[in-house]
Structure formats: structure tokens, C-alpha cells
């Protein structure tokens, strides 16, 4: 009988949910009771809504447990590991019986995330056992030349997974065409939208896949230097990257004559960034690596000609590089079986917001928005209605529920006014105010603007002021038109993607939810009942029992009335905090 394995998910999401304590408890039980099972670490499997996750692999099969705390860890060892009696109430995935969570996995095809949650990320040998560095060895053993590698990537149809969706093969071809004694392959791991959660999880869970993808990219374009630009707020990712890089050097996958390929010399190092959203733009990223303020520059020249240190450079994001080894090993045709005609392969999305199953999913492009939200994501909590989804991060667009059958590929998403971005999906329900949501995202992009472009620096500030006035009940006729005019000016006159996409949340909410803007401006009402200055709390006399609870809880003494008599709210004193509404047990307070 093979030795039982107990594997704890120790990605950042698991650690935040208490997985480190679970691991320590399992370690303590193992030592105290002298038990013979193998305790291992892995990273995020994507099922973040069920963290902490613990997997047990024994002679009967594989059992993934969710919501495991320290006490349940003790039960898990005694019931399952020792007595071979699975705790079915906590199993979220097993080949032996249904768990009710199957839909989360059913539509997924994991290529970029193929190893995440399944291998020990700090052990290169586990990566190697699972086709790790097999693509690089294939290139070396079969003598595949640089141009052929580029052609395979181009034929696969892989488009950049960082936002723009440009053909990865074509981008590599441009960098290949420029000759230089020094060339750079750069991984952008600093994107700041919700999809960056995916980048962090990939780096934490499978750092070697990203490194191998970079090495292949370096070979293809003729680069001899590699840089992973990662935000310092990802300490676990940086730690595991540095461990993986050192392991790769010792195995001969980095350094001189990489993998036995004569004359192919490349090394990679990690550059920690300060987490500026604008540094997701490649020229700003390179400026930051050079020690300058992260600000974009005019193009041309493009990075393929003059990039880092004015040398030919290629920049791709984490997910793009993670796909490369799989494509080179399995072939372009196999990869292009997934997805649509113009959007091949799979895409990782970070599901968040008003969703039952929040976490990471990887699906073939061509799946619909509704399938992701209602099948994989389990729908909206509390039986509320799906209202919209924000696609593409803070500078993405809001797609309304009635477009839920839209397929997700680069062209279809763009047609809605949203963008693919790096894969953030923020789900909203009927309680979300779309004007307030536009204000929230614009506040972020305004703060993250580097300030170089006048229209971005000042235009986003003016737009935020207008949106704030509207949410405060001070909107005026013509504000919608001003927002649209400013939006188009910012898009037309900004150097980088931050400014060019910053108005998207505003433009899409105006396009699809203009009635909410008009209600705020003309009627001084917030249909979603979220904007405090536009709310009115009133007591319904026939329902009020005079219990006095609301009066006692009111922080401004705005509620008065005799006991067992209907009460009254003084609107001049009311600060619209909602305490009375939440405390009333008799539905005697209306909110309009």
C-alpha cells in the first residue's frame, strides 16, 4: 500500500483563511502520535470560497476537503487517515461520490493552472515529474530552431493574456527581427486589477511554468537577460520565484548553454515593484526597472526595437508565459482546439463580488458570461438578481445581465465596451448602484494615473467630481453629456492603456444603465438605494408598535415618539445611517 498523503493548500488565499494553522496542527498530530503519513504543501487550487483546503490521497482515491479548521484537522486525521473513513460532509471533490460542487470543475480546462494546487511549488523535482521543462528539453533534443518556436506559438493562436490580446507569436517575431548583443525577455507580474490575483496564484503555485515559458521566449527572440517585474506586495510569490530560479540554475535550465543548447546563455532575476497600476503598461514597467518613475513613453519606437535599457525587449504577462511550455510540448494544433476562431485556448478568470463561488477558474474561450457566473460561480447569493459584471479590471466595462449570453472572447467582449484585461470578473447584483460603481473604479484609476498626460491627470479628476456630485444628489442636466465628452477626450489623448481605458466603467454604465443616472440627476433618487444622500427613511405608522428600539439606537436623536405610539423621524436630524432600518423587527421603516 502506498503511503497516504495529506496536502494543505498554502497559497496566499489559503494562508489568509487559516491554512497555516491547519498545517501546523496536522504536523503536531503527526509527530505527537507518531503517524506514518506524508504531509505536503501545495498552493491555490482555485476554490478560494472553500479555503482552507486539505487534500487526502490514499489507496481509495483522492479527496479534497474544504472549510477545514484546526479542530476539523484533528478529526480528519483520526477519521480518514487512520480509520479510512472519509468525512463526506466536508469533501468538495472526489471521484468516488458527488459532493454538490461538481459544476465548479466541470467546465474547466486547466492549461495555465495545470499544476496549481497539485504540486509542491518549491520542489523543482515535482514540476519535472509533471512534464516540467519537457518543452525546453524537446527544443534542445529535436534541434527546433528559433523561428520554428515562434511559428508554433503563432500557429497556436495564443494572444497576450495581459489585456491587449495581441498575437504572442507576432510579438515575439518583432523582437526576433532586431539584432543586438543584449536582448531582454520580461514578465509583467505587476498588474493591479482583480485578475492580478490570478497572476499571484500562478507565481505562488507554479513558478517554474512561468520561468520555463520565459526561457523558451528568450531562446525564440535571442534574449540573454530575463526580468520578472513583480509587485512587492506579493512576498510569497517573490519567495517562491527566487527559490525556483535558484533550483533552475542548479539544474542547468538557466546560465550558460541552457539545457545543452550551445551558445544559448540566459539568466533571470526578480525586480520588485511598488505596485503602481500604471506599471502594468510595458513602457512604464521598463522605466521602473531602470530606476525611473513609472511613466509611459511615446511609441514608436516599440519595445521590440528599443525597450529596457534601449535594447530590443519583449514583455508578456504571467499567464501568457505559463501557457508556452504546454503549447511547445503538446503542439499548436492541440492548443487551438480550445476557444474560438480568433481567440484560441483557455483563459483564467478571477471571480469576485456578489457570487457564491469566488475564486479562480480556467475555461475555454467561447464560454458565455452566464455559464461562468451561474454554473461555475454558483449564481448570486441570497437569491438576488444578477445585474451586471465588470470585465477587465478597474478600467474594464460593466456588461449588463441581458447580455449574459455573450461569449467570452477578445472580439465579443470588446463589442460590449468591456475588455478582457488580465481576467478580473466583478459580479454585481440588484443592490449595486451602477453610478456609484463607476465612481468607485474611476476613483482608483484617477489615483493611479502617473500624471504625465494632461487629459488623464485632470480629465479623470473632473469626471470623478461630476460622479461624486451625482451620487450626492447634486447632479445637473448636462452632466451625462459632460462625462461622455471628457471620456472620449481622455481616450483619444492618453499615451498608455490606463488613460485609454479609464473611462470604460463610466461609458458602459451610461450606455446600459442611463436610467440610473437620470434617476440620480432628475429625481434625486438612487434606484439601488445605495447612495446615502439620496435616501429617505420614514416610519410606517400602521406598522410601528412604539417599541422605542429605533429611537434608542439612533445616533443623532432624530427619532421621537411615546412608547407604544407611532414614532416620527426628523429629516433635518437624520444622517441616513440606516441603523433604525436594520434594527426594526416590525418592518415599520421604509427606505426610498
Same domain for 439 and 422:
no
Q: In 10 A of CB 436, how many CB atoms?
A: 19
Helix axes 146-156, 207-221, angle to 10 degrees: 120
Q: What is the pLDDT of residue 328?
A: 98
Within-domain flag for 341: no
Would you list the DSSP string of 429-446? ETT--HHHHHHHHHHHHH
Same domain for 160 and 242:
yes
DSSP letter assigned to residue 104: H
Q: What is the pLDDT of residue 421?
A: 82
Would you list the DSSP string of 256-267? SSGGG-TT--BE
Same domain for 235 and 179:
yes
Question: Which of 354, 403, 136, 97 minimizes the C-alpha distance to 257?
Answer: 136
Within-domain flag for 113: no
Q: pLDDT tens, 172-209?
A: 999 999 999 999 999 999 765 544 677 889 999 999 99
Side-chain half-sphere exposure of 29, counting CA atoms within 13 A: 21
User: At 378, is the secondary structure helix, strand, or coil?
Assistant: coil
| Spatial strand order in the sheet of 61-65 | 38-42, 5-9, 54-58, 61-65, 91-94
- Which residues have C-beta within 8 Å of that of residue 145, sequence separation ≥ 6? none
- In angstroms, the CA 512 to CA 392 distance is 17
Same domain for 277 and 146:
yes
Q: In 10 A of CB 469, how many CB atoms?
A: 15
Within-domain flag for 377: yes
Same domain for 290 and 229:
yes
Would you list the DSSP string of 151-202? HHHHHHT-B-TTTT--BHHHHHHHHHHS--S--EEEEEE---STTHHHHHHH
Within-domain flag for 106: no
- In angstroms, the CA 508 to CA 55 distance is 42
Within-domain flag for 364: yes
Which H or E element spans position 569?
Answer: strand 568-569
CATH number at residue 391: 3.10.20.600
Question: Which of 431, 466, 420 minimizes the C-alpha distance to 446?
Answer: 466
- In angstroms, the CA 90 to CA 251 distance is 40
Same domain for 201 and 277:
yes
Question: Which of 429, 212, 224, 245 minimizes the C-alpha distance to 321?
Answer: 212
Angle at 283 (CA atoms; ends 279, 288), nearest 5 degrees: 55
Q: pLDDT tens, 421-454?
A: 888 899 999 999 999 999 999 999 999 999 999 9
Would you list the DSSP string of 73-88? HHHHIIIIIIT----G
Q: In 10 A of CB 465, how many CB atoms?
A: 11
**Phi, psi (degrees; rounded to nearest 5) at 363:** -130, 155
Q: What is the pLDDT of residue 191?
A: 64
Across the chain, which has 592 residues, the per-10-residue mean pLDDT values are 87 95 97 95 94 95 96 96 95 93 93 95 97 98 97 97 90 97 94 65 96 98 97 92 98 97 97 87 94 92 96 96 98 96 94 95 96 96 96 91 96 93 91 96 93 94 97 96 97 91 96 97 94 92 92 93 92 92 92 87
Q: How far is CA 144 from the centre of its chain?
A: 35
CB 19 within 8 A of CB 53: yes
| Pairing outcome for strands 184-189 and 91-94 | unpaired
Within-domain flag for 67: yes
Q: What is the pLDDT of residue 463?
A: 97
- Of 335, 356, 379, the one marking the end of a domain is 335
| 353 Ramachandran zone, left/alpha/beta (phi>0; psi -120 to 50) | left
Side-chain half-sphere exposure of 57, counting CA atoms within 13 A: 10
Q: DSSP strand E in 59-147: where?
A: 61-65, 91-94
Same domain for 516 and 449:
yes
| Residue the block writes with cell 494572444 | 159
CATH number at residue 574: 3.30.70.20
Q: What is the pLDDT of residue 497?
A: 86
Same domain for 255 and 185:
yes
Within-domain flag for 108: no
CB 261 within 8 A of CB 248: no
Question: Which of 216, 47, 48, 44 minimizes the C-alpha distance to 132?
Answer: 216
- In angstroms, the CA 79 to CA 66 distance is 16
Q: What is the pLDDT of residue 393?
A: 83
Q: What is the pLDDT of residue 285?
A: 94
- Of 63, 84, 100, the one marking the end of a domain is 100
Question: Which of 452, 326, 291, 372 minimizes the C-alpha distance to 107?
Answer: 372
CB 536 within 8 A of CB 571: yes
- Of 287, 306, 335, the one marking the end of a domain is 335
CATH number at residue 441: 1.20.1440.230
Q: What is the 3-state secondary structure (H, E, C) of 239-300?
A: HHHHHHHHHHHHCCCCECCHHHCCCCCEEEEEEEECCCHHHHCHHHHHHHHCCCCCCCCCCC
Same domain for 250 and 381:
no
Same domain for 48 and 161:
no
CATH number at residue 245: 3.40.50.11540
Q: What is the pLDDT of residue 194?
A: 47
Within-domain flag for 494: yes
DSSP letter assigned to residue 3: P
| Residue spans of alpha helices (H) in 350-429 | 369-370, 410-415
Range of the domain at 24: 5-100
| Residue spans of alpha helices (H) in 362-453 | 369-370, 410-415, 434-448
- For the chain, what is the total number of helices (H) and then of strands (E)? 24, 18
CATH number at residue 23: 3.40.30.10
Q: DSSP strand E in 334-469: where?
A: 346-353, 359-364, 386-391, 397-400, 424-429
Angle at 317 (CA atoms; ends 397, 267), nearest 5 degrees: 165
Same domain for 403 and 446:
no
**Full-prediction pTM beyond 0.95?**
no
Residue 95 exposed, middle or buried by CB count within 10 Å (0-12, 13-18, 19+) = exposed
Q: Work out whether the CA dihedral 273, 281, 299, 456 comes out positive or negative.
A: negative
Same domain for 323 and 214:
yes
Q: How many domains does the chain have?
A: 5
Amino acid at each position: 500500500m502506498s503511503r497516504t498523503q495529506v496536502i494543505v493548500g498554502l497559497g496566499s488565499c489559503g494562508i489568509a483563511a487559516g491554512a497555516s494553522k491547519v498545517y501546523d496542527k496536522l504536523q503536531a498530530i503527526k509527530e505527537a502520535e507518531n503517524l506514518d503519513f506524508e504531509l505536503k504543501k501545495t498552493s491555490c487550487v482555485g476554490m478560494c470560497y472553500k479555503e482552507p483546503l486539505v487534500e487526502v490521497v490514499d489507496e481509495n482515491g483522492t479527496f479534497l476537503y474544504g472549510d477545514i479548521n484546526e479542530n476539523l484537522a484533528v478529526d480528519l486525521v483520526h477519521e480518514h487517515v487512520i480509520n479510512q473513513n472519509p468525512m463526506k460532509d466536508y469533501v468538495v471533490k472526489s471521484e468516488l461520490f458527488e459532493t454538490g460542487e461538481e459544476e465548479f470543475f466541470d467546465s474547466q480546462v486547466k492549461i495555465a493552472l495545470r499544476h496549481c494546487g497539485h504540486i509542491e511549488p518549491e520542489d523543482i523535482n515535482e514540476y519535472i515529474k509533471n512534464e516540467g521543462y519537457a518543452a525546453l528539453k524537446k527544443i534542445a533534443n529535436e534541434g527546433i530552431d528559433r523561428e520554428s518556436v515562434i511559428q508554433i506559438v503563432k500557429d497556436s493562436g495564443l494572444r497576450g493574456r495581459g489585456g491587449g490580446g495581441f498575437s504572442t507569436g507576432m510579438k515575439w517575431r518583432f523582437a526576433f527581427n532586431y539584432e543586438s548583443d543584449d536582448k531582454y525577455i520580461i514578465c509583467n507580474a505587476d498588474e493591479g486589477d482583480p485578475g492580478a490575483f490570478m497572476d499571484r496564484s500562478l507565481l505562488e503555485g507554479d513558478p517554474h511554468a512561468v520561468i520555463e515559458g520565459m526561457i523558451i521566449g528568450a531562446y525564440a527572440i535571442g534574449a540573454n537577460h530575463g526580468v520578472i517585474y513583480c509587485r512587492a506586495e506579493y512576498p510569497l510569490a517573490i519567495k517562491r520565484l527566487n527559490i525556483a530560479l535558484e533550483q533552475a540554475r542548479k539544474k542547468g535550465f538557466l546560465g550558460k548553454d541552457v539545457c545543452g543548447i550551445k551558445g544559448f546563455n540566459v539568466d533571470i532575476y526578480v525586480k520588485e515593484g511598488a505596485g503602481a497600476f500604471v506599471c502594468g503598461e510595458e513602457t512604464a514597467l521598463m522605466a521602473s526597472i531602470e530606476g525611473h518613475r513609472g511613466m509611459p513613453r511615446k511609441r514608436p519606437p516599440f519595445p521590440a526595437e528599443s525597450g529596457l535599457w534601449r535594447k530590443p525587449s519583449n514583455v508578456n504577462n504571467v499567464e501568457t508565459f505559463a501557457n508556452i511550455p504546454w503549447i511547445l510540448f503538446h503542439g499548436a494544433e492541440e492548443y487551438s482546439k480550445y476557444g474560438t476562431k480568433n481567440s484560441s485556448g483557455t483563459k483564467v478568470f478571477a471571480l469576485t463580488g456578489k457570487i457564491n463561488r469566488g475564486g479562480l477558474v480556467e475555461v475555454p474561450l467561447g464560454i458565455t458570461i452566464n455559464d461562468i457566473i451561474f454554473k461555475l460561480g454558483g449564481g448570486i447569493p441570497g437569491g438576488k438578481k444578477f445585474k451586471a459584471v465588470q470585465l477587465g479590471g478597474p478600467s474594464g466595462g460593466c456588461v449588463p445581465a441581458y447580455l449574459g449570453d455573450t461569449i467570452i472572447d477578445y472580439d465579443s467582449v470588446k463589442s460590449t465596451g468591456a475588455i478582457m484585461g488580465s481576467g478580473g470578473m466583478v459580479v454585481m447584483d440588484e443592490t449595486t448602484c451602477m453610478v456609484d460603481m463607476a465612481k468607485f473604479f474611476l476613483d482608483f484609476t484617477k489615483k493611479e494615473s502617473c500624471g504625465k498626460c494632461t487629459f488623464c491627470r485632470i480629465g479623470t479628476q473632473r469626471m470623478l467630481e461630476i460622479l461624486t456630485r451625482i451620487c450626492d444628489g447634486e447632479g445637473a442636466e448636462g452632466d451625462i453629456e459632460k462625462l461622455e465628452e471628457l471620456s472620449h477626450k481622455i481616450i483619444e489623448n492618453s499615451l498608455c492603456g490606463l488613460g485609454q481605458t479609464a473611462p470604460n466603467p463610466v461609458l458602459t454604465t451610461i450606455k446600459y444603465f442611463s436610467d440610473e443616472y437620470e434617476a440620480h440627476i432628475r429625481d434625486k433618487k438612487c434606484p439601488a438605494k445605495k447612495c446615502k444622500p439620496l435616501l429617505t427613511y420614514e416610519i410606517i405608522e400602521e406598522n410601528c408598535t412604539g417599541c422605542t428600539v429605533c429611537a434608542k439606537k439612533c445616533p443623532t436623536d432624530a427619532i421621537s415618539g411615546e412608547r407604544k405610539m407611532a414614532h416620527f423621524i426628523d429629516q433635518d436630524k437624520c444622517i441616513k445611517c440606516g441603523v433604525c432600518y436594520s434594527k426594526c423587527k416590525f418592518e415599520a421603516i421604509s427606505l426610498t
